[in-house]
Amino acid sequence: MHFSTISLIGLGYIGLPTAAVLASRMGNVVGVDVNKDVVESITNGNVKTLEPGLAELLAQVSGSALRAVMQPEAADAFIIAVPTPITDDHKPDISYVRSAALSLAPVLRTGNLIILESTSPVGTTEQMAQWLAEARPDLSFPQQAGDEADVQIAYCPERILPGKMLEELVHNDRIVGGLTRTASDMAAALYRLFVEGEIHITSVRTAELCKLAENSFRDVNIAYANELSMICDKLDIDVEELIRLANHHPRVNILQPGCGVGGHCIPVDPWFIVDSAPEEARLIRTAREVNDSKPLWVVEKIKRAIAAYLQKHPEKRIQDITVACYGISYKEGTTDLRNSPAVEIVQSLGTVGCQLVVIDPNISANSSFSSSEDLEKVKKWIVSSGIDNIPIDIQCQLMARNNIRSKE
């Protein structure tokens, strides 16, 4: 099965490295994004990213094997990698998927393959097929003509880790679920262009739920560690020592607690399951509530540390105290601020009345490659230089664990 041109719809955290890897293997890849700045930075070869190897790879392929445009063009296959956030009341928002599908509908032709990679609620791929059928009644789709459809549609979730994206795009296994067997075979053939891991074929709904189940599993395990840290704090027990000792059991592997859960997947994906099966997803819902509550718990712990410091230093007022928060992204080695619990913590501390500084080696107040909306919430407290000259009274290590200590 031959693909002469492949188009990536959405050049964000997932779409851009995928487009770059594809372009390096086959050439003639077209990336589409509605953000003019993104398109221009790729075209000009000046993409700013901390992802190891990505800038170098883009420099090799941009303008030749990879072109960036703002409107979809005709291609043999389309991969959609756009955001699927949740609303304030934890409902899935698949409007970006709909917009992406409808944007490429005018350029579809017989023989095309469309792959949805965006993490999605169960049933989204079928819904997308219906939108496309309504937009292009002159073409047939899997729900109408099965294996004989003019346009085939499949789902394949991404499962790559920031910091190892280029490595995992190639070496990770992939799960492919087509609306037909033909769609599955076509999608598997496409991924074999660059994937060296195994490709597992299943039903489209199983593929959709698999990514959600993976991240919900991780969320539940993190929630256990976070809840355990709060229990240990109440009982005056060192949680790190407890976990270290418990993990000597041959069948126990408790994770390390943190200040919450961040990123674009784990804090979001479990809610897709809860929305689809609210009565059944009781444990998954509870885990989400535990992890969502952890930043507020950390804030209260910092407030207690401030109160204790003031009691020990009665000559000082709260506005005389400087609290330093180390780490603002959702994990080490990334500029990604999406759903970062540290952002929530810093915002809350900003109303306490103390002096506040935020220190992160990868992020500055004018970072052009961080999540701009989240950066705006905290940038007035970010300090990039002169840190050694700032007298710090209370240190809060937000990145790894809830390590809060006062300077004596």
Sorting pLDDT into bands at 50, 70 and 90, what band is 388? confident
Share of the chain above pLDDT 70, in %: 95
Tell me if 286 sits within 8 A of 322, measured CB to CB. Answer: no
The set of catalytic residues is: 211, 265
Overall average pLDDT of the 215-229 stretch: 97
Concatenated DSSP letters of 237-276:
--HHHHHHHHTTSTT--PPPP-S---SSSTTTHHHHHHHH
For tokens 């059928």, name the residue.
Answer: 133
Say which residue, 339 or 168, is predicted with more confidence: 168
Pull the structure tokens for residue 142.
């899997």
Q: Report angle CA 92, 98, 102 to the nearest 5 degrees.
A: 180
Overall average pLDDT of the 279-300 stretch: 97
- Is pLDDT at 283 greater than 90 in this prediction? yes
- Is pLDDT at 175 greater than 50 in this prediction? yes
d(CA 155, CA 221) in angstroms, rounded, equals 27
Sorting pLDDT into bands at 50, 70 and 90, what band is 371? low
Least confident of 18-32, 48-62, 170-184, 373-387: 373-387
- Is pLDDT at 408 greater than 50 in this prediction? no
Tens digits of residue pLDDT in 223-266: 999 999 999 999 999 999 999 999 999 999 999 999 999 988 99
Overall average pLDDT of the 56-85 stretch: 95
pTM: 0.90
Tell me if 81 sits within 8 A of 15, measured CB to CB. Answer: yes
Pull the structure tokens for residue 365.
């107040």
Domain annotation for the chain: domains and CATH numbers: 6-197 (3.40.50.720), 212-285 (1.10.1040.10), 295-406 (3.40.50.720)
The pLDDT of residue 47: 83
d(CA 286, CA 265) in angstroms, rounded, equals 17
Sorting pLDDT into bands at 50, 70 and 90, what band is 368? low
Sorting pLDDT into bands at 50, 70 and 90, what band is 391? confident
The chain-wide mean pLDDT, for the chain, equals: 92
- Is pLDDT at 61 greater than 50 in this prediction? yes
Sorting pLDDT into bands at 50, 70 and 90, what band is 352? very high
Pull the structure tokens for residue 64.
């030749």
- Is pLDDT at 406 greater than 60 in this prediction? no
